[in-house]
Structure 1
Amino acid sequence: MKAMTATGRTDRSVELTVVAEPRPRPNEALVKVEAYSVNRGETFQLETPRPDWRPGKDIAGLVVQAAADGTGPAVGTRVVGHPPQGGWAEYVAVPTDSLAELPDGVPAAIAAALPLAGLTALRLLRVAGSVTGRSILITGASGGVGHYFVELAAAAGLEITAVSSSPERGARLRELGAARVVPRIEDAVGPFDVVLESTGGPNLPKALAKLARRGTLIWFGQASRQPVTLDFFDFFAGPESATIRHFHYADSDASYAEDLQTLVRLVAGDRLHPEVGLVADWTETAEVLTRLRDRGVRGNAVLTVA
């Protein structure tokens, strides 16, 4: 079969090659991929790829071989999935606890944009705790996670201030339910009960200073790729007794299948709207990855497999 494999080059990070078709484990279904989404974080992984690794964690397609252990969807079922790797291919083996059924009304190109960003946003909302009436600040809100989180959190009654340097993307965040959008963390008017921080570098201390007493900062990314320096005494200047919590989307008591099904249900009910900024043929993956890395794509980038 054909699949995208990493080259280790910066000018063209993937290429289309012929690889062996997956041999599913007993708890895995074989899915014919119709569309997949690429994420900016994957462009960083492609800089120093492992020899045994193939990219691709967000897919939608059709089950062509059901799991041998009897779990999961039957042959012919349309699905969205979150495989551990290898999704940028004609076929991929996906654990059945990472698959959710797709209704006919949700196109594969829309569903493929759901897994990584949607799961992260849904689980961030869960970690933030009881949110009704509480104030929250989210940095790096222009990306896929930010869009999903704002829409989900606004529907749950949260008062959201989103940080986005793009006026166009800021306008969209307001449409999705953000109470306020500011171009810089310094412009946010706090204090906030919860801060979601995804940029790292000098922005994390700035975001921390916006917390209310005994507030919580949830650290879920470092898009700036810069390390963070914190001064213990800064905590006494504002966010006294604050908590900093590390977040990894994979650490959840719910399965990917359960949460993907929730996301699909919300999309099918017109209550969640994936931001798909680009759809292209999968032969253009290398070019799309370059645009994504350089922030040339608004929302999710989706590739369709002929």
Structure 2
Amino acid sequence: MKALLPTGDPATLVAPGEAEEPRSGPGQALVKVEAFSVNRGEILRLHGALPGVGMRPGKDIAGLVVQAAADGSGPRTGQRVVAHPPGGGWAEYAAVDTDRIAVLPDTVPTLTAAALPLAGLTALRLLRTAGSLAGRSLLVTGASGGVGHYVTELAVAAGADVTAVTATAPRGRRLAEFGATVVHDLADAGGPFDTVLESVGGPTTARALALLRPRGQLIWFGQASGEPAALDFFAFFGGPVSATLRHFSYEDFPEPYAADLALLVRLVAAGRLHPEIGHLADWSSTPSVLTALLNRAIPANAVLKVAA
């Protein structure tokens, strides 16, 4: 089958090639991939900045089940699905554990669903970690990315007073439509905030931490700037009292991916969640899309269509 394979070359991270068509295990469905989205974490792994360099990428896919799981679990043959495999999804076919798959209703397009898995799961679980949001103030840094769009819409709907930080006004327009207050510099964010969701890194982390109210919490879930965060813990003596700084991994949750994917799909179908696709193209353009996404030139999600 055709697949995008790692090259080891930072200038062109993946290239088209041939891979063996996967054979599904008893608890796996074989999915014909029709679209996938790409994520910064996968790009960093291809660059070698994160563990897993050399592995075949592809964690966000949507398509058609062409072979149901032999153990009877999961979707039936012929059903459209969205899935979150651990890798290998940038290909014509993927074998996926059924506890990582959700069925799509007719009202949710395949291309829309492809933008859901990693960013949607991260946003959903971030807000679950943050706790009750009704009447609480929430600051979201790096808010124009895929996670930021989902977090902002879900948090506003949950009753939070959301301030979203974006680099430019055009990137924040959709977030403002969701009901967030949009600023382009932390100096304009105001505060103090009950909770900060921080994904930029570098000096932004310390600046955002200083905007917490007493006993507030900062949840760190990314480093989009590529710069390590440097924190001076002596600064706590003149900053937020008893603040909590927490690292977050969307993988560290007891809920199966399938259940949370199904919840995201239901929210989309009900018109309560709107995946934002900042770039849509054929998968032949994946190398250039990876470069653009790494350079933060694409807002929200980038979705690639797999040729028939």
The C-alpha deviation readout for 1:114-168, integer Å capped at 9, x for no partner, is 0000000011111110110000111100100000000000000000011112101
The C-alpha deviation readout for 1:158-215, integer Å capped at 9, x for no partner, is 000111121011121110121x111111221111110111111111110100001011
> Equivalent residues in 2 for 1:1-306 (5 A)?
1-48=1-48, 50=52, 53-178=55-180, 180-306=181-307
Amino acid at match of 1:176: F
Measure how far apart 1:50 and its partner are.
4.9
SS in 1 for 2:297: coil
Listed as ranges, the gaps of 5+ residues in structure 2 are: none
The C-alpha deviation readout for 1:210-249, integer Å capped at 9, x for no partner, is 0010111101111122222222221121211111111000
TM-score (norm 2): 0.96
Q: Distance in 2 between matches of 1:72 and 1:221?
A: 32
SS in 2 for 1:30: strand
Amino acid at match of 1:72: G
Q: Distance in 2 between matches of 1:52 and 1:24?
A: 22
Measure how far apart 1:273 and its partner are.
0.6
Provide the identity percentage: 63
Q: Is the 8 A contact 2:139 2:164 kept in 1?
A: yes
Measure how far apart 1:51 and its partner are.
6.8
Distance verdict in 2 for CA 1:16–1:174, change over 3 Å: same
Q: Which moved more, 1:107-116 or 1:294-303?
A: 294-303
Q: Distance in 2 between matches of 1:165 and 1:266?
A: 28
Q: Distance in 1 between matches of 2:93 and 2:267?
A: 27
Measure how far apart 1:52 and its partner are.
5.6
Q: Distance in 1 between matches of 2:268 and 2:182?
A: 24
SS in 2 for 1:3: strand
Q: Distance in 2 between matches of 1:6 and 1:201?
A: 28
Q: Distance in 2 between matches of 1:229 and 1:89?
A: 39
Q: Distance in 2 between matches of 1:13 and 1:240?
A: 45
Amino acid at match of 1:7: T
Distance verdict in 2 for CA 1:47–1:265, change over 3 Å: same
Distance verdict in 2 for CA 1:156–1:50, change over 3 Å: closer
Q: Is the 8 A contact 2:46 2:53 kept in 1?
A: no
Q: Distance in 1 between matches of 2:147 and 2:131?
A: 18
Amino acid at match of 1:223: A
Q: Distance in 1 between matches of 2:110 and 2:156?
A: 26
Listed as ranges, the gaps of 5+ residues in structure 1 are: none
Q: Distance in 1 between matches of 2:137 and 2:52?
A: 41
Residues matched between the structures, number = 305
The C-alpha deviation readout for 1:52-106, integer Å capped at 9, x for no partner, is 6100000000111111221111111100000000000000011101000001121
Q: Which runs of at least 4 in structure 1 moved beyond 6 Å after TM superposition?
A: none
SS in 1 for 2:8: coil
Amino acid at match of 2:225: S
SS in 1 for 2:22: coil
Distance verdict in 2 for CA 1:271–1:291, change over 3 Å: same
Q: Distance in 2 between matches of 1:258 and 1:50?
A: 26
Amino acid at match of 1:68: A
The C-alpha deviation readout for 1:36-55, integer Å capped at 9, x for no partner, is 00112222111138576100
Distance verdict in 2 for CA 1:137–1:66, change over 3 Å: same
Amino acid at match of 1:37: S
Amino acid at match of 1:207: A
Q: Which moved more, 1:42-51 or 1:272-281?
A: 42-51
